[in-house]
Structure 1
Amino acid sequence: MPTPSEVAGMDHDIAKAPEAPPTRRDALRVAAGLLAVGAVPLTASRAAAHADDADVCAGGYDAEFEAALAEAEALFEADGNRAVAPERPPGRYTLPLRRGFRVSARYGVRGDWLAGHHTGIDLAVPTGTPVYAVGSGVVVLARRSGAYGKAVTVRMRDGHYAVYAHLSRIKVRQGAALRAGARVGSSGATGRATGPHLHLEIRSRRRYGSDIDPVRYLARRGARLL
């Protein structure tokens, strides 16, 4: 278990967690406050109370992230950016990580999220692990915003969106055209997270709630994640 000084140095950003590890009562008290503004589900806050053995997302829908994403795409469309439009053929696909990982939270886990389930898959890896684009496309958003922390959103050539969240470092800029396998950043625990991991989310449209299973999506395109 990390010492209080080590905990203070981690970039977990869980509502400015106290220096000492939170008790179950502390976690539920924080969750109650967040639930009042619809920021995080109770099930996720319970996971946060056991951060020693869980590297998962501790938030669901985040209005700040969704607003930033909508604004960014609107600017792209206003500029007539053709890279935002889906193209055929979509090109090859690859895996987001090139080293071993542990699945700390699978896609579709039921809970009190606004979508009713976990909208991505959480892959636990040490902070700083390189993260790569699973498919070619254009970077719609690359910034720190809300519960997703430092995140990169790519509109892929088949019209789907890939969200790489909780990064410790972003390596691409908004508007950049990417090929499959291009590095987008490094894994971390920014935003609402209980430990270092990559949250990979695939959306069929830009809006929250249009998520699909990342494992099946990649497998059908020749990239087997699990």
Structure 2
Amino acid sequence: MDHDIEKAPSAPPTRRDALRVAAGLLAVGAVPLAAHPAAAYPGDIDVCTGGYDAEYEADLAMAEALFEAEEHRAFAPERPPGRYTLPLRRGFRVSARYGIRGDWLAGHHTGIDLAVPTGTPVYAVSAGVVVLARRSGQYGKAVTVRMRDGHYAVFAHLSRIKVRQGARIRAGARIGSSGATGRATGPHLHLEIRARRGYGSDIDPVRYLARRGAPLL
């Protein structure tokens, strides 16, 4: 069961307040935008070719700030985090592992690419709140879920999105279908786990899921 976090009574925040919060978040967590040529992956074709995406990061910060303002709640971690599950339920090929060195602004691949046919169902790995569900920049059609433990799961390059922004979802809920939208060389799921909202806070998704009873590999 999800539990809202009570806050002291105050005047309802306006959209202008939310925009101001989002601007502050971007100012604090912003990373300079730089050009990044596509990294080469010998033998792999279904991968991400983008780097830092200013449009996506701005959309994510704005969406989270607006949601907090509209829902009168803070995004504090919830306990217990609940169960975890895999994002795919059919065979896949790892076309790009987490941490591969390249020309990304972070210096490495920030997620793991799982090559599957377009239209393959994609599922939430944990319960949480959908903070962004839309097409945005190089990630293409993407869904970002803030999980109960405070981490973020990014599901990118989808062909279809089946959840709405602001929805509270359970582990295993279908969030969309795999695809090749945004900057991708072929159909795959880019799964990224972030310790915080901002770019560069990524952690190994394989280790993250394995430690929570959902081994990906």
CA contact (8 A) 1:90 1:136 kept: yes
Task: Identify which range, 61-70 or 78-87, moves more after superposition.
Answer: 78-87
Aligned match of 2:171 in 180, 184, 191? 180
Structure 2 match to 1:199? 190
Residues 86 and 112 of structure 1: is their aligned pair in 2 closer, same or farther, counting only changes over 3 Å? same
* Distance in 1 of aligned mates of 2:85 and 2:163: 18
1:53-132 paired onto structure 2 within 5 Å:
53-82=44-73, 84-132=75-123
Structure 1 match to 2:13? none
What displacement does 1:99 show? 0.0
Q: With the length of structure 1 as denominator, give the TM-score of the two structures.
A: 0.78
What displacement does 1:43 show? 4.6
User: Any gaps of 5 or more consecutive residues in structure 2?
Assistant: 1-32
Structure 1 match to 2:155? 164
Aligned match of 1:38 in 29, 34, 40? 34
CA contact (8 A) 1:139 1:177 kept: yes
* Distance in 1 of aligned mates of 2:188 and 2:175: 15
**Deviations 1:95-127 (CA, angstroms, capped at 9, x unpaired):** 000000000000000011100000000000000
CA contact (8 A) 2:68 2:74 kept: no
**Deviations 1:147-172 (CA, angstroms, capped at 9, x unpaired):** 00000000000000000000000000
What displacement does 1:86 show? 1.2
Letter in 1 for 2:108: H
* Distance in 2 of aligned mates of 1:176 and 1:126: 27
Structure 2 match to 1:137? 128
* Distance in 1 of aligned mates of 2:142 and 2:72: 21
> Percent identity between the aligned chains?
84
Of Structure 1 and Structure 2, which has the larger fraction of its residues in helix?
1
What displacement does 1:82 show? 4.0
* Distance in 2 of aligned mates of 1:174 and 1:105: 28
**Deviations 1:15-44 (CA, angstroms, capped at 9, x unpaired):** xxxxxxxxxxxxxxxxxxxxxx724x2352
* Distance in 1 of aligned mates of 2:112 and 2:211: 17
SS in 2 for 1:77: helix
CA contact (8 A) 2:44 2:96 kept: no
* Distance in 2 of aligned mates of 1:140 and 1:118: 23
* Distance in 2 of aligned mates of 1:192 and 1:67: 17
Between Structure 1 and Structure 2, how many residues are aligned? 185
Residues 55 and 113 of structure 1: is their aligned pair in 2 closer, same or farther, counting only changes over 3 Å? same
Q: With the length of structure 2 as denominator, give the TM-score of the two structures.
A: 0.82
